[in-house]
Amino acid sequence: MKITLKQNQIPLVATIAVWILLYIIASLRFPGMLSVNVLLNLFTDNSFLGICAIGITFVILSAGIDLSVGAMVGCTSIIIAVLVRDLHLHPGMAILIVLSFGIIYGGIVGSLIHFFDLPPFMVTLAGMFFARGMGFVISVNSIPLNHPFYDTLSNFGIPIGDGTLTFVALTFILITLLGIFLAHRTRFGRNAYAIGGNETSARLMGLEVGSTKIAIYAFSGLCSALAGAVYSLYTYSGNAWAGNGMEMDAIAAAVIGGTLLTGGVGYVFGTLIGVLILGVIQTYITFDGTLSSWWTKIAIGILLFIFIALQRFMSQASVLQKPKTATVTKGVKTTA
């Protein structure tokens, strides 16, 4: 049976192949990597990063960028902690408040980008400083969270083999499935791809460019706020320092997962694999015990170079493969 790959599927296949190869290499070095428990822990330990990465994937698909997701994780986690500790709100209500805050924040960012035609880089950079600064204004210290609601969620788990699918891991998986559905089964997703492919053409076709852009950044804000809530559950605390530099890791996961930085091409499932690749690298370093954790950044940098080069090669190949058309100029037949 012959399997034919579309050109935009090559980065996704390459990402899956890299993840499998890295997992095999790690398993040969440390057989414990083959356990179901370690595999499930990849989802648990990278849940808040993965949720941020899902949101930022839609932003990149639309040819945008969001540098504020990491700061939003820290800001929302500290807001939850203060609401629970000082205002004695139920954690569930506090989480709903920060999710609403994330949607409103993202909607404002998207509106500024759309209505004032501002560069997403600059707007989200300002948003990053705002969210990080707001978190430190609320509290510069980590605030512990001790509540039966958190105990209940932390104790929840679905036994699978010798491991457990935790609540935060399940949340990550559900958000990934939601992202896949939105990207490939809804008008919102189709519009995001169209805007990233060519915004002018999308506008001429009558697509809802403005509302889609605002919705994309609102969804990214929702994901980063949810990641802050998941972080507070994972660590039993709120910390304004949380998510420091996470925006870069989220962008890296999306790019390694096959999403083009120029927009219009990418898969949410690829982002999931990209997050798991980062998790495998970090787990390998942890198992080794002799390597500095900074080797994770070095490995990510090398992978980014490789996948960006692959994207560049594919773009050039696409241009070269465009069919030539015949034109006639002053009676002379030429090709273009």
Q: Which domains does the chain have, with CATH numbers?
A: 7-318 (1.10.3470)
How large is the average pLDDT for residues 233-253? 96
SS3 content of the chain, % helix, strand, coil (to 5): 70, 5, 20
User: 98 falls in which pLDDT band (50, 70, 90)?
Assistant: very high
Residue with tokens 């898969």: 267
> Percent of the chain scored above 70 by pLDDT?
92
Query: How far apart, in whole angstroms, are the C-alpha atoms of residue 110 and residue 221?
Result: 10
Given a contact cutoff of 8 angstroms between Cβ atoms, the answer to whether 257 and 272 are in contact is yes
Nearest to 56 by CA among 188, 222, 240: 222
CA atoms 183, 279, 150, 87: torsion sign:
negative
pLDDT in tens, 125-156: 999 999 999 999 999 999 999 999 999 999 99
pLDDT in tens, 66-89: 999 999 999 999 999 999 999 999
Query: How far apart, in whole angstroms, are the C-alpha atoms of residue 66 and residue 155?
Result: 33
Backbone phi, psi, residue 183, to 5°? -70, -35
Give residue 310's pLDDT: 77
Query: How far apart, in whole angstroms, are the C-alpha atoms of residue 210 and residue 205?
Result: 13
Least confident of 25-39, 118-132, 172-186: 25-39
Given a contact cutoff of 8 angstroms between Cβ atoms, the answer to whether 327 and 336 are in contact is yes
Which residues, 6+ apart, have CB-to-CB distance to 334 below 8 Å? Answer: 326, 327, 328
